[in-house]
Chains A and B, each alone.
Chain A
Amino acid sequence: MPFKGYVEISIESCKGCNLCVIHCPTDCLALNTSDTNSYGLHYAYLTDEDKCIACQNCSVICPDAAITVYKKVE
Chain B
Amino acid sequence: MKEGYELIYKRPKALVDVRMHYCPGCFHSTIHKLLMEVVEELDIQDKTIGVCPVGCSVFAYDYLDIDMQEAAHGRAAAVATGIKRMLPDRIVFSYQGDGDLAAIGLAETIHACNRGENFTFIFINNGIYGMTGGQMAPTTLEGQETTTSPYGRAPDKDGMPLKMAEIVSQFEMVAYVERVSCDTPANTRKAKRAIRKAFEFQMKGLGTTFIEVASNCPSGWKCTPEESLNWLKEHMFPYYPLGVLKEPSKKKKGNAARRTKTE
Residues on A close to B: CB < 8 A?
Answer: 5-6, 12-13, 15-19, 22-23, 39, 41, 54, 56-57, 59-73
With A and B bound together, what is the CA distance between A22 and B189 in angstroms? 17
Q: From B29, which residue of chain A is reached at the shortest CB distance? A: A63
State the B residues within 8 Å of A (CB).
1-2, 4-12, 15, 19-20, 22-30, 33, 182, 184-185, 188-189, 218, 224-226, 229
| Residues of A with C-beta under 8 A to B19 | 12-13, 39, 64
Q: Which residue of A lies closest to B18 (CB)?
A: A13
Q: Give the residue of B7, B22, B24, B25 whose beta carbon is less than 8 angstroms from that of A68.
A: B7
Interfacial chain B residues near A62, Cβ < 8 Å: 30, 33
Give the residues in chain A near B226, CB-CB below 8 Å: 18-19, 22
Q: Roughly how many angstroms separate A12 CA and B18 CA in the complex, as a whole number?
A: 10
CA distance A16 to B225 in the complex (A): 10
* Pair A64/B29 contact, Cβ less than 8 Å: yes
A and B contact pairs by CB, cutoff 8 A, 11 listed: A6-B2, A17-B218, A18-B224, A19-B25, A19-B225, A23-B184, A61-B30, A63-B24, A63-B26, A63-B27, A70-B7
Beyond A61-B185, A66-B11, A69-B10, 16 additional contacts (C-beta under 8 Å) are A17-B24, A18-B226, A19-B226, A23-B184, A57-B185, A61-B184, A62-B30, A63-B22, A64-B19, A64-B20, A64-B29, A65-B12, A68-B9, A70-B2, A70-B7, A73-B5
- A-B contacts counted at CB < 8 A amount to 86
User: Which one of B7, B24, B226 has the greatest number of beta carbons of chain A within 10 Å?
Assistant: B24
Contact A18 B4 (CB under 8 A): no
Residues of A within 8 A of B182 (CB): 61
Residue numbers in B under 8 Å from A66 (CB-CB):
11
